[in-house]
Homo-oligomer: A and B are copies of this chain.
Amino acid sequence: MSLVELSSSLLPVIEKELQHQVSRLNEPYTHHFYEMLAYHMGWIGKGSGPGAQGKRIRPLLLLLTVAACGSDWEPALPAAAAIELVHNFSLVHDDIQDNSDKRRGRDTVWVQWGIPQGINAGDALFVLSNNALMDLAITYSATTILNAAKTLHEACLDLTRGQYQDISFEKHSDLTIGDYWLMINGKTAALLSAACVIGSILSNANETTQKAYRDFGHYLGLSFQVQDDFLGIWGNAGTTGKSIESDLISRKNTLPILYGLEKNGEFARRWNEAPVHPEDVADLADQLASEGARTFTEETAYKLSNMAQQFLHMAAPQGEAGEALFQLTNKLLSREA
């Protein structure tokens, strides 16, 4: 079975488990509260449907890892839901923190229900992730569940660290590429790494294998983010769904931009001089490329992607799920630029 076939059988089951977990709040007197969460998850309201639900990469990685370690993935579904709920908690709060009014083309939760309920909806998704983990007790030993929980909680701490750095960095213009790695480790890599580690824990994989999956997830996350940063400047709007070169306009602290600022050449001069207007974007992207940022970003993504693949080889994933993990890695890291 290919990744496409495996995904098409796993994704509906993941969605069903997520719906089951979130339905804890679907009671008569909190029905409207439940609806906020169901709206964010893409199940109800204007624009709901698969396009509004996200790619569910983290639960997919977790279940594929369980299967690639030779175990049945089905009992691991509550853990898969837990990690996706954590991711969504962070998105709901991130949208408030970034003052973003749209996510996947739809109004964000705080736009629909206000900031106070938006904060509370995010909190609820986080609490639900904890509740979901407890459902693992149907199948797994208490010790195994605690190991999985500890891994997730550590990743959540990294997530808040990364978020702290991201918010702080918006106010500072003297960021270095070193700061960047700390930030994306927390914001992107920690949860992808935890998904793989938890998958290997639930399969009773040995320490060496767990460590290989941890590093695989870590480098997958870093590489994915660098790739995303590349696309944010030199990506094709048609394939990424973003308006072309938007990171230059939104002044995000991405790898190529930080590279250009560290170079302190013509790009940095123009960047610091004035806000970037849509008509300047193409020219500024070329300037950034001419100073080496494009090549540097591509090479970095390539190196990180190689690291991810090496660690996946070390983890020695088995069977169709193992092949699917290699395919998923390739797919995530070679989106059309």
Residues in chain A within 8 A of chain B (CB atoms): 24-25, 29-30, 32-33, 89, 93, 96-98, 114-117, 119-120, 122-124, 126-128, 130-131, 134, 137, 141-143, 145-146, 149-150, 153-154, 156-157, 159-161, 163-165, 167-168, 182
Contacts and interface: CB of A to CB of B under 8 A. Distances in A.
Which of A93, A119, A156 has the most chain B CB atoms closer than 10 A to its own CB? A119
B145 A120 contact: no
A204 to B, nearest CB: 15
B149 A93 contact: no
Contacts of A153: 127, 130-131, 134
A139 to B, nearest CB: 13
Nearest to A143: B142
A54 to B, nearest CB: 20
Contacts of A150: 134
22 contacts: A25-B161, A29-B165, A29-B182, A32-B168, A33-B164, A93-B119, A96-B119, A114-B167, A115-B115, A117-B164, A117-B168, A120-B164, A123-B126, A123-B160, A124-B157, A127-B159, A127-B160, A130-B130, A130-B149, A134-B146, A134-B149, A145-B146
A49 to B, nearest CB: 26
A141 B163 CA distance: 34
Contacts of A142: 141-143, 145-146
B157 A127 contact: yes
A234 B153 CA distance: 44
B137 A157 contact: no
A21 to B, nearest CB: 11
Contacts of A120: 93, 97, 160, 163-164, 167
B33 A161 contact: yes
Nearest to A150: B134
B126 A97 contact: no
Contacts of A163: 120, 123
Contact of A128 (B116, B157, B182): B157
A167 B29 contact: no
Contacts of A98: 116
Contacts of A143: 142
B124 A126 contact: no
